[in-house]
DNA sequence: AGTGGCTCCTGGCGGC
DNA sequence: TGCCGCCAGGAGCCAC
């Protein structure tokens, strides 16, 4: 499941090969990949050069320069319409993969970018949830405003004060709170479970019940977990591979996600699974008790989220890394 | 307004 | 062995 670390991994990998290339042609094999028509998408991306790659939450943004018309190649909608810079936005959702320079015989792509000189970017997506948009740069703000995106976890707005304010008064379970992109952008099922484990907070605790010290733990745990995901180049659990076909390694150091029935790396208690907001949710019932102040080590000093030395998970890193 | 539930979609897996 | 039905989940939509 591509979440913030996976999309960031894709962005970094594409950053090594896409900028400077001319997007010669857009091939839309599956029109349901976009609410826009193939003609409209083409008019906004074809004949433009990739100038940059950005990420907003789980969205990947590809900056494109103004239309370049090599000879008479540029015909159709792109010829008479808007010719300024543009932005293409891709959301991988569940199974989306961007593959640069696909191998011969690569499975069908929902869309293909044919690039100069002679390279291709494939968008493969088994479950077909992924989406593509393209618009003028001026429309970008509206695009994200209409989605009420919360702050970037690594941005200046995601402060402890912001988190405390966002948690306050909410009755929704913590897990549902973390998955809500309007509160924090980029957190998905894997990293929500892992961050709650690190913060020693039960996923069913109501968001509004979180105290100041617990909010501090959650804030640190979110940043540490997402950073660890980026450092490990994502989690390759279902189908995630980066554009070069490489798998991430975060799945190898998961503490609770999809470890139902296995032993907690800290206390040895069996990891349990429940459903919160329709999503599979994994937690250690001892390290993440439903009652406040019951977790092992919860009386430790503020911000001390390191587990007992005797059972240190492989990926447990010092706060503030 | 906030919250929960449904929907989309298809490969994989368990059960019979 | 083969078939059927369920499950996974990000985000948009809808109902309460």
Q: What is the DSSP string of A118-147?
A: TEEEEEEETT---EEEEE-GGGHHHHHHTT
For residues A192 and A276, the answer to whether their CB atoms sit within 8 Å is: no
- Tell me, in Å, how far CA of A65 is from C1' of C3? 53
Q: Along the 321 residues of chain A, how does pLDDT read in single tens digits?
A: 789 999 999 999 999 999 999 999 999 999 999 999 999 999 999 999 999 999 999 999 999 999 996 543 444 444 457 899 999 999 999 889 999 887 777 778 999 999 988 899 999 998 899 999 999 999 999 899 888 889 999 999 999 999 999 999 999 999 999 999 999 999 999 999 999 999 999 999 999 999 999 999 999 999 999 999 999 988 876 656 777 777 888 888 899 998 988 999 999 999 999 989 889 999 999 999 987 755 554 443 333 333 333 333 333 333 332
Q: Is A58 part of the annotated catalytic residue set?
A: yes
Which 198-227 positions of A have CB less than 7 A from strand B?
Answer: 207-208
Nucleotide of closest approach to A169 (CA, C1'): B2
Strand C lies under 7 A from the Cβ of residue A58: yes
**R_g (Cα) of chain A, nearest Å:** 22
Q: What is the pTM of this model?
A: 0.88
Strand C lies under 7 A from the Cβ of residue A129: yes
Active-site pick, A2, A203, A289, A307:
A2
Strand C lies under 7 A from the Cβ of residue A145: no
- The helix/strand/coil state of A252 is helix
Cα–Cα distance for residue pair A100/A112, rounded to 1 Å: 10
- The helix/strand/coil state of A214 is helix
- Tell me, in Å, how far CA of A222 is from C1' of C3? 44
Active-site pick, A48, A56, A58, A286:
A58
Residue A72's pLDDT is 39
| Residues 6 or more apart whose Cβ sits within 8 Å of residue A309 | none
Residue A215's pLDDT is 96
Residue A297's pLDDT is 45
For residues A255 and A313, the answer to whether their CB atoms sit within 8 Å is: yes
Tokens of A168: 């306050």
Residue A317's pLDDT is 32
Q: Is the dihedral of CA A265, A211, A167, A156 positive or negative?
A: negative
The H or E element that residue A194 is part of is helix A189-198
């Amino acid at each position: 499941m591509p979440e913030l670390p996976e999309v960031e991994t894709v962005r970094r990998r594409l950053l090594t090969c896409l900028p400077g290339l001319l997007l010669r042609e857009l091939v839309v094999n599956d029109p349901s990949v976009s609410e826009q028509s193939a003609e409209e998408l083409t008019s906004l991306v074809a004949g433009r050069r990739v100038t940059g790659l950005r990420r907003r939450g789980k969205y990947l943004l590809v900056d494109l320069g103004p239309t370049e018309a090599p000879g008479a190649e540029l015909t159709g909608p792109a010829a008479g319409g808007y010719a300024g810079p543009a932005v293409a936005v891709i959301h991988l959702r569940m199974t989306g993969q961007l593959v640069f320079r696909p191998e011969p015989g690569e499975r069908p792509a929902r869309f293909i970018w044919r690039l100069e000189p002679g390279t291709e970017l494939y968008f493969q997506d088994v479950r077909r949830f992924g989406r593509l948009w393209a618009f003028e740069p001026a429309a970008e703000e509206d695009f994200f405003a209409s989605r009420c995106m919360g702050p970037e976890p690594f941005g200046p707005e995601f402060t402890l004060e912001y988190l405390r304010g966002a948690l306050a008064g909410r009755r929704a379970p913590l897990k549902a709170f973390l998955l809500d992109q309007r509160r924090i952008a980029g957190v998905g099922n894997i990293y929500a479970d892992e961050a709650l484990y690190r913060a020693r907070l039960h996923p069913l605790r109501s968001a509004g019940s979180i105290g100041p010290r617990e909010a501090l733990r959650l804030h640190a745990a979110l940043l540490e977990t997402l950073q660890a995901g980026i450092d490990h180049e994502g989690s390759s659990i279902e189908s995630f591979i980066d554009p070069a076909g490489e798998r991430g390694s975060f799945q190898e150091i998961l503490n609770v996600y999809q470890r139902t029935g296995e032993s907690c790396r800290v206390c040895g208690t069996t990891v349990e699974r429940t459903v919160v907001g329709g999503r599979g949710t994994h937690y250690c019932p001892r390290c993440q008790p439903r009652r406040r102040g019951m977790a092992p080590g919860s009386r430790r000093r503020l911000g001390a989220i390191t587990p007992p030395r005797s059972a240190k998970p492989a990926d447990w890193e010092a706060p503030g890394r």
